[in-house]
Chain A
Amino acid sequence: DIQMTQAPSTLSASVGDRVTITCRASQSIGTYLNWYQQKPGRAPKLLISGASRLQSGVPLSFSGSGSGTDFILTISSLQPEDFATYFCQQGDRTPYTFGQGTKVEIK
């Protein structure tokens, strides 16, 4: 199975900060990398598919990049509603696997 590792596990930041979250795959997955946001008690929400395709309705402050084994989710200017947990998921092959999550906390 492909292992997905995110860093950091927790991130403390302030409103307006630029935030980056990394996701590494244990083997090359091309651009089959997806990013999700989850808030407590809520269903996960797809933010970015195919490593860099922003989903409809997702703020332009979110962006994704990378290919192969290394990927980055960037929030260019953190907003109050962005404090949440983010996780990556590889879609290259089954079993689809997820990162352990990165919790973005208020500093």
Chain B
Amino acid sequence: EVQLVESGGGLVKPGGSLRLSCVASGFTFNSYWMSWVRQAPGKRLEWVASIRQDGSDKNYVDSVKGRFSISRDNAKSSLFLQMNSLRAEDTALYYCARGPSSGNSLGYWGQGALVTVSS
């Protein structure tokens, strides 16, 4: 069974940093692109970033470029999102997802980690 478990969310002040982690199980982690997707309260889902299997290619939504960094540790089946210079508008539930794969879909999602940016 595919499982994705996020951790590292919490309350942080504007300008602060946070690192999200996602541990994967039930599939060969190093065979898949991996992504982060977020959902702010009352808003639609927003794709944040994706990383290739070997970490050699990374893509970001413009609103986080230069502030967020996606990375992975294939030996530990783990995905990370380093978030710096956080803003109130980064407040959201952050999902770890497997993909993009077929049709650039996101085949499996975790339960999410809540990030709240507030003074």
Chain A residues engaging chain B, CB cutoff 8 angstroms: 31-34, 36, 42-46, 49-51, 53, 55, 87, 89, 91-92, 94-101
Contacts and interface: CB of A to CB of B under 8 A. Distances in A.
**5 nearest A-B residue pairs (beta carbon):** A91-B104, A50-B103, A49-B103, A34-B105, A49-B105
26 contacts: A33-B103, A34-B103, A36-B106, A42-B111, A43-B4, A43-B108, A43-B109, A44-B45, A44-B95, A44-B106, A44-B109, A46-B105, A46-B108, A49-B102, A51-B103, A53-B102, A55-B107, A87-B44, A91-B104, A94-B59, A94-B61, A95-B47, A95-B61, A96-B104, A98-B45, A101-B44
**Interface band, chain B:** 20 to 34
Contact of B106 (A46, A50, A101): A46
